[in-house]
Amino acid sequence: MRVTAFLGVFVLVLAICAWAQNKYGLKTTGLNAYHATLKDNPQKELVNLAVFAPDIVLDIGYATEKNFTGKRIYTLARAYARRPAAEALKKAQAEFRKRGYGIKVYDAYRPYKATVRFYEVYQDTTYVASPYRGSRHNRGCALDITLVDLKTGKELPMPTAWDAFDKQAWPTAIVADPAIRANRDLLISVMEQNGFTVYEHEWWHFDYNRWNDYEVMDIDFEELEKK
């Protein structure tokens, strides 16, 4: 009886722990399951953009306190994307370079636990993803980006700063300054020509068009980089 009671308590504790890890009930993919998917489909690989496209500038805002949470969310400043999304981004970068511009990445793949944290800080799913569904960032298929001038290294003026929770950040917002409007429209046009769709409330957020083919992941950068 004691053994049975102990086992019952043990199972209950495990169930509680599992719930605590994902209290919103969304199934997520961890490191082992991710590696298993790669055996069936190598195209699901998360590619390190710093290695794959080293001419793309990285400015990972969530690895600093300069983001809407005021907290450092990532312990490593990394940008990963699923291989097809990374390849499409590289094609877009080549097109921008012809015009004297380059891509700067603010955020790419994002572990699911970060999405939960964002939601619990700011519960407006216009600007942060619902933890009940997860983010396309969690699938490795979303990129937060802007453009830089290749000669000066400076960002091109855009309607708002990155992560501005404001209607002026919407891609359809009226922009009085023709140069800023042209910058925004160029970014959107080239990205959409290369397999991405701009998010309706954020000019900087682009979803790879086949995002639904990929699982929601909760894998830290440190886990991805273990030998």
Separation CA 40–CA 22 (nearest Å): 26
| Residue 46, pLDDT score | 98
**Residue in the structure block whose two tokens are 């429209």:** 185
| Residue 123, pLDDT score | 83
pLDDT in tens, 183-212: 999 999 999 999 999 999 999 999 999 999
pLDDT in tens, 47-102: 999 999 999 999 999 999 999 999 999 999 999 999 999 999 999 999 999 999 99
Residue whose C-alpha is closest to residue 79's, from 53, 113, 105, 97: 105
Query: What's the mean pLDDT in 160-167?
Result: 94
Separation CA 110–CA 94 (nearest Å): 25
Percent of the chain beyond pLDDT 70?
Answer: 90
| Amino acid at position 112, single letter | Y
**Residue in the structure block whose two tokens are 């273990």:** 226
Alpha helices (H) along the chain: 2-21, 31-40, 49-52, 83-98, 112-121, 178-193, 221-224
Domains in the chain with CATH codes = 30-224 (3.30.1380.10)
